[in-house]
Amino acid sequence: MNSVSGMTLKGVKAVAVEVEVEITGGLFNISVVGLPDAAVREARERVRAALRSVGITLRGRVAINLAPADIPKEGALLDLAIAVGIASVQGGVRVKKPSLFIGELALDGRLRKVRGAVPAAFLAVEKGWDLYIPEENAAEVSLVEGVSAWKVRSLGELFAHLRNEIELPAVEHCEADYAPPQADPDFADIKGQSVAKRALEIAAAGHHNILLVGSPGSGKTLLARALKGILPPLSDKELMEVLLLRSTVGDSASSVRERPFRSVHHTASAVALCGGGTTLRPGEISLASRGVLFLDEFPEFTRDVLEALRQPLEDGQITVSRASGSVVYPAKVLMVAACNPCPCGYSGDPVERCTCSPSALERYRRRLSGPILDRIDLHLSIPRLLPEELVSLEGKCGESSAEVAERVRRAREIQTMRWSRYGIGSNSEIPEKLLRRNITLSPEVKGFLLQALNRVRLSGRGLSRILKVSRTIADLDAAEDIRLEHIAEALSYREGEALSWMKS
């Protein structure tokens, strides 16, 4: 009996799997035990054909055990490890150093790309093992620091390397590109909407969720897409988190530190948004982690989808539980929600007349619960542009995304200096205890805030979010303390026209 190491995925983490192989006499048969799924069981035929292509013909009874036996094994990740395990018993191949093998085998022995190469690289670094991967996975693995990895094109090539006949090409480490994000659209190309641009700047600086309410054609989607262009590049830690998630679902990894932008259609199910399925996979909210999650037609999402947003928006992570176990996925998203003010879209519009009945308006307003709205820091009404603004042929309209992004970067640096010792990256993540301890208000500001609270219906969570947004506005002004004008601006995003249609 002999054993080699493979891996399987549990959430975004790689779990080492010991592949034990025993070949005995008798009629030919291959059996795989250790909670394999259908894809792993089908590996018997792929491995047999691939081994035949390199001159190894299987005979007798082949028993393959995947340990630990209590962890479900899924996908074609274990094809290569099983083939190496069999060859080490019957084919004269020896694995001299502790190594991790991942890859899907074609019938002719070629290796195909697999998902989960980045988690495998982290596992190899943690264990101090060599890593053998398909050549197509090399680009994403090269971004992981400290990994000793080798690119494999075929099973025959790997066996020749293990017999010291050839040297496989190593995966060379490369740094992710710090190129500035491409703003498309650019803030300077968006006509008007100066208030909305300011709100997006605040959202980007403090990582605050934002709700955009406006009639069709007012520019909600355009503004949401422009937000990505003013966010700072991913840090090393954030980049690794994004790479893990992309690799887990098989997305091609990018070497550019550009933040994710995921736009979700309102027909998406709770599983598509939050993750899950028969084999646990991250959902859209996790794939947007460290970036922007755009939910257009927000009230049109089903109630269970909207309510499922509560935990990730509050905690920055989401727990997906199934009979086979539970997995925690990161979900540190900057959520941009957009909606019309009514079913027809023209309630309060200065040009078009609303055709909705009072009962239809009431049903529409009830689709968004108080707890969900309470978790959105900025509520903004997007007015329709005037005809003279629409027909204007001027090339640029205000500041460019690069200018706004520079202010956002400076504000983020201030927040990092203030909160890094607590493991916090932005003002939106400040826990209640730290918020009360570290934010001081002058008597004048306290008096103004008290008057506002008596006028605006706010929960304790709502007040905390007002203070966090005020802190972000102060950081954009490079102010040491929160001033009255900072509180006033933060309050304007909670009591303006955007919420009036909900409260009427």
Range with the largest mean pLDDT of 66-75, 79-88, 185-194 = 79-88
**Tens of pLDDT along 325-380?**
789 999 999 999 999 999 999 988 888 899 999 999 989 988 998 889 888 999 99
In DSSP notation, 98-126 reads -EEE--EEPTTSBEE--S-HHHHHHHHHH
Checking if the pLDDT of 504 tops 70, the result is no
* Placement of tokens 């070629």 in the chain: 110
pLDDT averaged over the chain? 90
Nearest to 187 by CA among 227, 217, 232, 218: 227
- At residue 388, the pLDDT reads 66
So what's the pLDDT on residue 309? 93
Tell me the pLDDT tens digit for each residue of 19-55. Answer: 999 999 888 899 999 988 888 989 999 999 999 999 9
> 169 by DSSP, 3-state: which?
coil
- Give backbone dihedrals phi and psi of 4, rounded to 5 degrees, phi first: -135, 170
Residues 18, 6: Cα–Cα separation, whole Å: 6
Average pLDDT over residues 428-440: 88
Question: Is the separation of the CB atoms in 474 and 482 below 8 Å?
Answer: yes
DSSP annotation of 375 reads T
Query: Angle at CA 365, nearest 5°, toward 363 and 369?
Result: 110
Q: Report the C-alpha gap between 91 and 86 in whole angstroms.
A: 7
Residue 39 has a pLDDT of: 87
Annotate 378-413 with DSSP letters as a single string: EEEE-PPPPHHHHT---S--S--HHHHHHHHHHHHH
Q: Token pair for residue 37? A: 């799924």
Q: Report how far residue 1's alpha carbon sits from residue 43's, in angstroms, rounded to the nearest whole number.
A: 19
Chain centre to alpha carbon of residue 351: 40
Q: List the end-to-end C-alpha distance of the chain, in Å, as a whole number.
A: 74
Question: What would the pLDDT profile of 302-320 be if each residue is shown by its tens digit?
Answer: 999 999 999 999 899 999 9
> Is residue 395's pLDDT more than 60?
no
- Summarised one tens digit per residue, pLDDT across range 273-311 is 999 887 788 999 999 999 999 999 999 999 999 999 999
- Residue 444 — pLDDT band, cuts 50, 70, 90? very high
Token pair, residue 134, equals 């398909």
Cα separation, 194 vs 201, in Å, equals 11
Query: How many Å apart are CA 39 and CA 44, to the nearest integer?
Result: 9
pLDDT at residue 486, rounded to an integer: 95
| Coil/strand/helix, residue 460 | helix
Q: How far apart are CA 430 and CA 410, in angstroms?
A: 18
**At the topology level of CATH, where does 187-427 sit?**
Rossmann fold (3.40.50)
Task: Tell me the per-residue pLDDT of 100-150, one tens digit each, with 9 for 90 and over.
Answer: 999 999 999 999 999 999 999 999 999 999 999 999 999 999 999 999 999
**Sequence ranges of the domains in the chain:** 2-162, 187-427
Q: How far apart are CA 85 and CA 334, in angstroms?
A: 46
pLDDT of residue 177: 74
Confidence band for 433, pLDDT divided at 50, 70 and 90? confident
Distance CA(119)–CA(133), nearest Å, equals 12
Alpha carbons 338 and 218: distance in angstroms, whole number: 11
SS3 176: coil
Top CATH class of 2-162 equals: alpha beta
Identify the sign of the CA torsion 454, 457, 461, 466: negative
Residue 486's CB: how many other CB atoms inside 10 A? 22
Comparing CA positions, the residue from 59, 64, 70, 62 lying closest to residue 40 is 64
**pLDDT at residue 402 greater than cutoff 50:** yes
Comparison of pLDDT for 351 and 223, the residue scoring more: 223
Nearest of 194, 269, 257, 184 to residue 222 by alpha carbon: 184
Length of the chain as a residue count: 504
Contact in structure between 265 and 298 (CB atoms under 8 Å) = no
- What's the pLDDT band for 193 if we cut at 50, 70, 90? confident
How would DSSP label each residue in 28-54?
-EEEEESSB-HHHHHHHHHHHHHHHHT
CA dist 424 and 393 (Å) reads 44
Task: Report the percent of the chain where pLDDT is more than 90.
Answer: 68
